[in-house]
């Protein structure tokens, strides 16, 4: 979603999250920088069930398009894998978890159409 966090900071947060959920942190995969590239994520998804799941830095690293996100969720869950989001401390472990994540996505994608600034009308009138 257009934000950037230094990779070593992402790794620190991923490591810390894995400690918290008592998961073994294996190796960090870095997605290619090209817009809409999910090649590394797909590659990691194919590693399940050899690995238990995937921890992403943020849930907003997933594709912007719902159908692509949903494919990722289904792919991981079908293989009994888990998808975690370290920054948010949220996860998808069963089908029912998807709604929670998708509600956040929907609101996030709607917010640019909502008020972003506060206009103090009383103050403006006085000027």
The contact set with other proteins (CB under 8 A) reads 58-60, 85, 87-90, 100, 103-104, 106-111, 114-118
Closer residue to other proteins (CB): 61 or 75: 61
d(C-alpha 65, C-alpha 81), whole Å = 22
Closer residue to other proteins (CB): 41 or 48: 41
What is the smallest separation between the CB atom of 112 and other proteins, expressed in angstroms?
Answer: 11
- When computed from its CA atoms, the radius of gyration of the chain, rounded to whole angstroms, is 18
- Cα-to-chain-centroid distance, residue 114: 22
Closer residue to other proteins (CB): 40 or 107: 107
- Sheet containing 82-85: order of strands: 53-56, 82-85, 90-92
What is the smallest separation between the CB atom of 3 and other proteins, expressed in angstroms?
Answer: 9
């Amino acid at each position: 979603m257009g934000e950037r966090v230094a990779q070593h900071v992402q790794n620190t947060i991923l490591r810390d999250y894995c400690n918290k959920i008592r998961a073994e942190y294996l190796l960090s995969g870095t997605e290619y920088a090209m817009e809409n590239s999910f090649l590394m994520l797909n590659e990691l998804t194919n590693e399940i069930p050899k690995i238990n799941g995937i921890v992403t830095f943020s849930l907003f690293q997933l594709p912007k398009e719902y159908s692509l996100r949903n494919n990722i969720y289904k792919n991981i869950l079908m293989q009994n894998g888990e998808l975690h989001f370290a920054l948010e401390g949220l996860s998808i472990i069963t089908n029912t978890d998807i709604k929670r994540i998708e509600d956040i996505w929907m609101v996030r994608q709607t917010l640019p159409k909502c008020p972003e600034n506060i206009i103090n009308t009383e103050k403006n009138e006085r000027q």
